[in-house]
Amino acid sequence: MKPEIAQKLVNLNHQFYQSFADDFSETRGRLQMGVLKVLERMPIKASILDLGCGNGKVALHLAQNDFKGTYLGADFSLGLLNWASADIPAGFQADFHELDLTAPSWEEVLPPTSFDVIFCFATLHHIPSHALRVSLCRNIRQYLDDKGILYISTWQFIRSERLRKKILPWETVNISADEVDDGDYLLDWQRGGSGTRYVHLYSTEEFSHLADSSGFKIVESFDSDGEGGNLGFYQVWEPV
């Protein structure tokens, strides 16, 4: 994929999550089962970086379950970050930062520290092009402790007949099908208005190559969430 097409898709998703932040947040009132499964593993004290934190439901869950560590959430959508910061109870140690995960470096936004745990739930599938995905994962490695753990999840919408009906032709956004990569899709949104989102459907081979290219090894994979319990694909990565 050419860089200019990748940037167009990044901008498309930025526009969507800014324009529909409130409507999207209303559809994310509770955590997915796979996320809850991961959170059950969290030690009572740890330093957590939540990339693509959205409306902060992970932070709220941690606060409500007596988590005593530190939490930093990052997202590019100020609209969703406003929801996140409004829900956190007083006394819980949480910070939220505006961050474009496709930026080459995160040093101007994130503190110069490493984290015990990094989450990247339902976010990686919005990153276009192999180059941007590798860059993102290498940045994650930079901020993860050498003994830390990365938890990721991606959307397997293709497994749902209802969601497959939301697939739009690329011409909708003035892009031709031969300008995007295998596994790239454009999805319709019809809540609070009409919108479009870019989503990438990963193969297991892509995950393996992405981990290898960014200094990780895959230690666990599982399906969860939604209709049939398989609309989310989760992986656990550790530094090599």
> In 3D, which of 207, 186, 240, 233 has the Cα closest to residue 38?
233
Give the per-residue pLDDT at 19. 74
Pairwise CA distance, residues 152 & 99, whole Å:
18
In this structure, are residues 235 and 137 in contact, taking their beta carbons and an 8 Å threshold? no
The β-bridge relationship of strands 144-155 and 232-239 is antiparallel
> In 3D, which of 49, 46, 27 has the Cα closest to residue 109?
49
Q: What are phi and psi of 147, to 5 degrees?
A: -110, 15
Counting Cα atoms < 13 Å in the Cβ hemisphere of 141 gives 18
In this structure, are residues 18 and 77 in contact, taking their beta carbons and an 8 Å threshold? yes
CATH of domain 3-26+33-239: 3.40.50.150
Give the per-residue pLDDT at 24. 58
Give the per-residue pLDDT at 85. 82
Give the per-residue pLDDT at 72. 97
**Cβ contacts of residue 182 below 8 Å, gap of 6+?**
none
Domain ranges, ordered by start, for the chain? 3-26+33-239
Give the per-residue pLDDT at 214. 98
Q: Mind listing the pLDDT tens digit for each residue in 69-93?
A: 999 999 998 888 888 888 788 889 8
Residue 83 neighbours by CB distance under 10 Å: 19
| Residues lower than pLDDT 50 in the chain | none
Task: Please give the structure tokens belonging to residue 102.
Answer: 């496709």
